[in-house]
Amino acid sequence: MQSANNVMVLYTGGTIGMQASANGLAPASGFEARMREQLAEHPVPAWRFQEMAPLIDSANMTPAYWQRLHAAVIDAVDQGCDGMLILHGTDTLAYSAAAMSFQLLGLPARWCSPAPCCRPAYPTAMPGKTSVVRWPRWAKAWYRACSCTFMAR
């Protein structure tokens, strides 16, 4: 088995990237910069970042959004990515993981990498919370032979 060397991170919104707003916590743009800052001193594989549009609270996930996620995964494969991390909120994570498991059945045999869907317990914008730095542990588990869902706390 081979570890992933070129990972695509798909950010859908959800808890990990939420920031305070007038209406409480809300999904926010700019998460890539916060993620890169937190991971700067950690050994991780090469990775790219794509912010999905619109960013959503996972309670608002829809089958149409799953189709956009599917298209983003296929695009990443076509661009040479051999690993995938989908940053997702908690509320509908199980449904999204199930939907993606069926949508990704048609991928060519050359790419059989896991596409973990991860949800943190806290936004990274909260003082003292560093959910992203646990990513190296997930990255070490990425192999090109299985499908999985990781939950992080």
- Catalytic sites, residue numbers: 15
DSSP 8-class letter at 151: -
Burial of 48 (0-12, 13-18, 19+ CB in 10 A): middle
DSSP 8-class letter at 4: -
Q: CA 58, CA 55: separation in Å to the nearest integer? A: 9
End-to-end CA distance of the chain: 27
Query: Phi and psi (nearest 5°) for 81?
Result: -70, 140
